[in-house]
Structure 1
Amino acid sequence: MKNIMKMFVALFVVGIILPSCDKKNNENSSLSPEHKKALEQVSQDRRAGMEFLIKYMPDRDREELSADYLLEHVNLAYEARNAHDWAKNIPEEIFLNDVLPYASFNEKRESWRRDFRDRFSKYVNNSQTLEEAVRAINENAKEELEVIYSTERPKPDQAPQESMSCGLASCTGLSVLLVDAFRSVGIPARIAGTPNWTQKQGNHNWVEVWIDGVWYFTEYYFDDLDQAWFLNDAGQANPNDKKYWIYATSFKPTSDSVHFPLVWDLDIQYVNAENVTDRYISIYKEKNEEEKAKLDGKAKVEIKMFKDNVCSQIGDNRVSEEVQVFDKDGNLQGEGVTSAPEEDMNKILTMYLAKNKIYNLRYKNSSGKLKVEELNISEDKYNIVLFFNE
């Protein structure tokens, strides 16, 4: 009886083990030679990352990417993760989906990670927290990469080196640059955007960063976290119509199988995404209440500066110059810098000034001469246009 029981247990175990071995062999047999090589050469502590990329990569990458390419991205991503305590503490699922990936959209697959880590690690070496690291990258990306916003860029879906070689990029190209800068030092980042605004024509893409369990939005032209010119438009998104949703990229498929619509090629369906529309509507409502508080007895004053009044509404005619506003007693009431040509046309210097008062607006023109404009504030909103060459 005892021998019969032993035989039964042995057969039972074989019956369990063999199918699992067969399954593993079947999975391995479907791998390309390059994928097998990558899995063989990656260290055991980084194997989960390699398996993640191979499992969820688009079919186009499955056919094209070499083992060396994948190994470089995986090894450098793990090195960045191990370099700082704030990076080590990022949850595994966030690291895999939002630090490790080598691309965001359909951009050319480049080996950007080593160059970007060399460029950006110096900015985060003294960061004690993830938020400090985020701000350090955001505040230095533009100067480090020397790429400016321009509709004259060669194409919308530029990879990092493509943007850096010409020095120009659209909002999409700038977002790719910033996401890769964040990821290169171990910061979780992804691209967010909408294919269509509800209140006006056009689309826009920007960046989100993960800090201690919360996703915050930011841009290449940094103001602050969860603060950007487009929030008013994003807050008007229509949650009932996919054309007007706010999307956030994901390397692996999301639970509701959403895809990020790429306006330059709507046939592409392999960019996975999360629908984050409701979050932006919620943030907008909260910020809108804050703005209402700012407007209590005050006027919203938007200030633009152009070179001259010949073609003042052309973006390339804009001038970035410091502007200060004083009351009649000489007390500073507001200051800031007007938007530069390379910044988004919707980004405007804004101040909130008490109504029924007279102010002096001051700036220096192209000759260095101090110019003074008198503002008699009595209405709710003003659009002030200044000319630098006068």
Structure 2
Amino acid sequence: MPSRVRILSGYGTGSCSFAMRSDRSRLRSGSLIRREPSSDDTRRASSQARGWWTWRGNELSRRGSRRKKTTGPIGRLKRISNRRRCPTTALLPICVRCRRSTAGWNFSFGRRGTAKRSRRLSHFLESCPEGWNSYFQVMKSMALAAWVGTFVLAGGQVMAEWEQRLEAAGKNSEEISSFVRKASERHGDLGRRAAVFLVGGMPEVDLKTLESGFLMENLALALKAREEFPWCKELPEAVFFNDVLPYASLDETREPWRAGFYEQCRDMVKDCRTTTEAVQAINKDFFNLIKVHYNTGRKAPNQSPSESIELGKATCTGLSIILVDACRSVGVPARVAGTPLWSNKRGNHTWTEIYDSGEWFFTGADEYNKAGLNRAWFVGDASKAIADDWRHAIWATSWKRTGDHFPMVWDLENRGVPAVNVTGRYTSGQEQKPKQSTVYLRLWDKRGGDRLAAPVELLDSSGKVLAEVTTRAGTTDLNDMPAFKVTTGEEYRLRVRYEEEARWENFKAVGEGEGTMDLVWPELGKGSVELKAISQWLALLPEERHLSVPQGALSRKDAERARGLIWETVRKELAEDREAEMGRKVAKAAGKEMKFLEQTFGKAPETGRSLWISMHGGGGAPPRVNDQQWRNQIRLYAPSEGIVVAPRAPTDTWNLWHQSHIDDLFDRLIANFVITRDVNPDRVYLMGYSAGGDGVYQLAPRMADRFAAAAMMAGHPNNASPLGLRNLPFMIFMGGKDRAYGRNKVAAQWGKTLEELREADPGGYDHKATIYPQHGHWMNGDDREALPWMIAKTRDPWPKRIVWKQSGRTHERFYWLQVPKGVAEGGQKIEAEVQGQEVTIRSGGAKELILRLSDQLMDLDEVITVTADGVEVFQGRVERKARVIWDSLRQRPDPDSAATADLHLKLVDGGK
């Protein structure tokens, strides 16, 4: 049996492939699928494929007769004959041009069912009876990919890759297949190869959304540039495909920029002879033409060209995207390059690389230098890049997958842009040993006064403590001085502590050798070095902060001030986006939109307003019914103070309030009101009636750390557990005659269970259960008695004891406990308690835990001890860090629950 089969092209410019249906096919000896001489395979390839096409017509020509009524003995013979000539369960090669319904890698046989995946032709041959192989020519010399639009099949790997591409495209697979087919029809084999390359490197989001027309326009204009511009015509095909053909560089908005940029840049480069001359001409004049220049007032770092042009503003990444696109529009190979973080930790930068005569060169976008390429203000910083550290390496984008990705600092989790590490071209490939200086220190009480003995810390520019010494005083020799070893050219800070006060001094060693610094106490800078570093860091652009968070340890006082500074920055930067949502009265998360109605009651307290989330009933009903329930819900409850919000469930299913997306939507809703409406995050309340009560049963335990109190009205818990309610006051209201689904009995049982839990744990499970004997499902408003009880409750974001019971919808954070991403398990129960400086954990089988710590929980200046499942797993001090505050507030815009320190624990065998 041959290992692979190759059939080169379809009928005319068409395209074909195959679908497996079974192993009971029959081919007549006179079929046009025929043997091809091995010496003439290329010349006859088209004829061979035409044979497949004709065979399809001949073999299936009587398809329609199957639909005719055939009864009796004659009819039975006709049916047997039809099965032989046109077997409905056979393994048949089906052309995708047969009808529209078969396009997009969706193969069908007449009106029979479709096959979800293509199969290699070798599968077909393997299923054939002995002797059938003589009808096929096996071309062993080449193995090409099985791409729609080429009528090519090959063995395993490439075929599987194509199938994966189309699977990733989902409902958009027809557009992708159509693009490749049209590229082959209109631009021949070069167009086919270009289209296949483009599809092979597309991010999944593009596969799912981009239309054939957009892709065809981009490809046609790229091929036009290759024909028109001499430098492009001479490019190796691989370079043209990777650095001229692509329609995007990073994750910017996809848009058809090529036609407009071609018209604008064509005249600029008409007298140029090389790509270097072309990019210089574009960089000199193009940004003035489109009126876009560097400005930090832009909306996003990764703006598309039209977004930057609309604003007239962009920063280095947006400008680089424009220059790359402008170059590609006239056939100049270009790509985005940059570093996530300079080795001196002063932020990131992005620029453009250009290909000329087999080499890559760089230039700053909108930074024309008449002296030529490879000249820019960042040359010195780039020369200190570190190839082995991805944060400090220099990366260049690639369309072809490389195994590495371009680190986009605005979205570090996005690994969808391939990249190559080009650090060596900027550092000359030789590791240079840093130059060292020795700095001696003396501290004086005043100029011409006496020396002081005091501890002095050496910090780097990020605030990390590198070393500590103590200055000399009294009768010690004047030349008896402590010293630091520092790297020349780097910036440092000295923190001097004297008589319970800390002061600081910045310095930089400018040359090798030794030197003495005489510090004068009254002249040293006052205030916290760490807070100064945090203020400077917060002044950076948002995308520059992720990898350059100050590392210095914070005092308790500084940590509180740092939390305020960071929260104000986070709130301000989130506000614009969140205001837009609030203006539309929607919350957006988890791919859903949730509408809401709102009413405001009473006067706002100085500590911030309360927020009441009130979930409507219905579910399992038409939208109009649920809409009616929603509009009625906003009228049910009127607290003495606060904002009442009635969200509209985004679905109409029976479980509309406890599907997994609701958690994310409620997190977003709460955050939006905290950010834009001055809501106090410690005074957020949850209520729900009927199906909304179902939601309270489910959401309150799994999101207990978000609420101050919760009240369930006339709902059913289904499979919910009350264990997570340990620190959340919980109310139950039910009509005694509400017997549907046993709601009244279940509510009474929940009340009893909560009472038992409180008896076993007197500090928790605050609750109140009320069963109205006279009421059925509608309680006639008597349940409004919940409001005075609830409004008296305030959330404690740092309770001393936690019971965390994961439901089927898992969470990664609960009060001051956290698990690493992706390891949360449904049904897992973790208990943790703080007594003084000791933390006791019952892990429930968890192998990793993160303690989110704060001075509200324990004194972080003192030693803490952690015991998990009877084993001591940590003893020591934990430093307060700006990074922890920053991560907490980015994860959840909730300043009261923001941690100032964290502790990562590896538990022995998950507590077993």
Q: Which of the five TM-score ranges fits, normalised by the shorter chain? A: 0.5 to 0.7
Change beyond 3 A, Cα 1:238–1:9: same
The CA deviation at 1:87 is 1.3
8 A Cα contact 1:231 1:284, kept in partner: no
8 A Cα contact 1:235 1:285, kept in partner: no
Q: Which of 407, 420, 427 is equivalent to 1:261?
A: 407
**Match in the other structure for 1:170:** 315
The CA deviation at 1:284 is 10
**Match in the other structure for 2:134:** 10
Select between 80-89 and 179-188 the one with higher mean Cα deviation.
80-89
Counterparts of 1:98-177 in structure 2, within 5 Å, are 98-177=243-322
**Match in the other structure for 2:381:** 233
State yes or no: 1:281 paired with 2:281.
no
**Match in the other structure for 1:317:** none
**Aligned letter for 1:65?**
L
The CA deviation at 1:142 is 1.8
The CA deviation at 1:40 is 2.1
**Match in the other structure for 2:217:** 72
State yes or no: 1:37 paired with 2:173.
no
Counterparts of 1:207-356 in structure 2, within 5 Å, are 207-220=352-365, 221-223=367-369, 224-254=372-402, 257-282=403-428
Give me the whole-angstrom Cα distance separating, in 2, the residues matched to 1:14 and 1:283: 49
Select between 198-207 and 36-45 the one with higher mean Cα deviation.
36-45
**Match in the other structure for 1:91:** 236
Change beyond 3 A, Cα 1:236–1:155: same
Gaps spanning 5+ residues in structure 2: where? 1-36, 38-130, 147-151, 167-172, 433-912
Give me the whole-angstrom Cα distance separating, in 2, the residues matched to 1:29 and 1:276: 30
8 A Cα contact 2:229 2:330, kept in partner: no
Secondary structure of 1:123's counterpart equals coil
**Aligned letter for 1:41?**
K
Gaps spanning 5+ residues in structure 1: where? 1-5, 287-390
Give me the whole-angstrom Cα distance separating, in 1, the residues matched to 2:193 and 2:132: 36
**Aligned letter for 1:33?**
E
Secondary structure of 1:131's counterpart equals helix
**Match in the other structure for 1:319:** none
Give me the whole-angstrom Cα distance separating, in 2, the residues matched to 1:86 and 1:260: 27
Give me the whole-angstrom Cα distance separating, in 2, the residues matched to 1:25 and 1:204: 39
The CA deviation at 1:100 is 0.4
**Aligned letter for 1:38?**
F
The CA deviation at 1:250 is 0.3
Change beyond 3 A, Cα 1:46–1:241: same
Give me the whole-angstrom Cα distance separating, in 2, the residues matched to 1:237 and 1:22: 44
Structure 1 stretches (4+) deviating beyond 6 angstroms?
6-9, 283-286
**Aligned letter for 1:40?**
R
Secondary structure of 2:251's counterpart equals coil
The CA deviation at 1:11 is 6.7
Residue-pair matches, total? 278
**Aligned letter for 1:36?**
S
**Match in the other structure for 1:360:** none
The CA deviation at 1:241 is 1.2
CA deviation map 1:333-373 (0-9, x unaligned): xxxxxxxxxxxxxxxxxxxxxxxxxxxxxxxxxxxxxxxxx
State yes or no: 1:51 paired with 2:196.
yes
Over the residues paired in the alignment, what is the CA RMSD in angstroms? Answer: 2.7
The CA deviation at 1:84 is 1.8
The CA deviation at 1:12 is 7.6
Q: Which of 349, 352, 357 is equivalent to 1:204?
A: 349
Question: Larger radius of gyration, structure 1 or 2?
Answer: 2
Select between 137-146 and 224-233 the one with higher mean Cα deviation.
137-146
Give me the whole-angstrom Cα distance separating, in 1, the residues matched to 2:387 and 2:134: 57
The CA deviation at 1:218 is 0.5
Change beyond 3 A, Cα 1:22–1:156: same
Change beyond 3 A, Cα 1:22–1:29: farther
The CA deviation at 1:240 is 2.4
The CA deviation at 1:258 is 1.0
The CA deviation at 1:283 is 8.5
**Aligned letter for 2:250?**
F
Q: TM-score, normalised by structure 2?
A: 0.29
Secondary structure of 1:243's counterpart equals coil
8 A Cα contact 2:253 2:303, kept in partner: yes
Give me the whole-angstrom Cα distance separating, in 2, the residues matched to 1:258 and 1:28: 23
CA deviation map 1:261-283 (0-9, x unaligned): 11001111011000011110018
CA deviation map 1:161-188 (0-9, x unaligned): 0000000001000000000000000000
The CA deviation at 1:200 is 3.7
Secondary structure of 1:152's counterpart equals coil
**Match in the other structure for 2:730:** none
Give me the whole-angstrom Cα distance separating, in 2, the residues matched to 1:142 and 1:127: 18
Change beyond 3 A, Cα 1:253–1:30: closer
Secondary structure of 1:244's counterpart equals coil
Change beyond 3 A, Cα 1:200–1:65: same
Give me the whole-angstrom Cα distance separating, in 1, the residues matched to 2:430 and 2:334: 21
The CA deviation at 1:28 is 6.9
| Greater fraction of residues in helix | 1
**Aligned letter for 2:134?**
A
Give me the whole-angstrom Cα distance separating, in 2, the residues matched to 1:132 and 1:145: 20
**Aligned letter for 1:225?**
L
**Match in the other structure for 2:207:** 62
Give me the whole-angstrom Cα distance separating, in 2, the residues matched to 1:229 and 1:219: 8
The CA deviation at 1:13 is 3.5
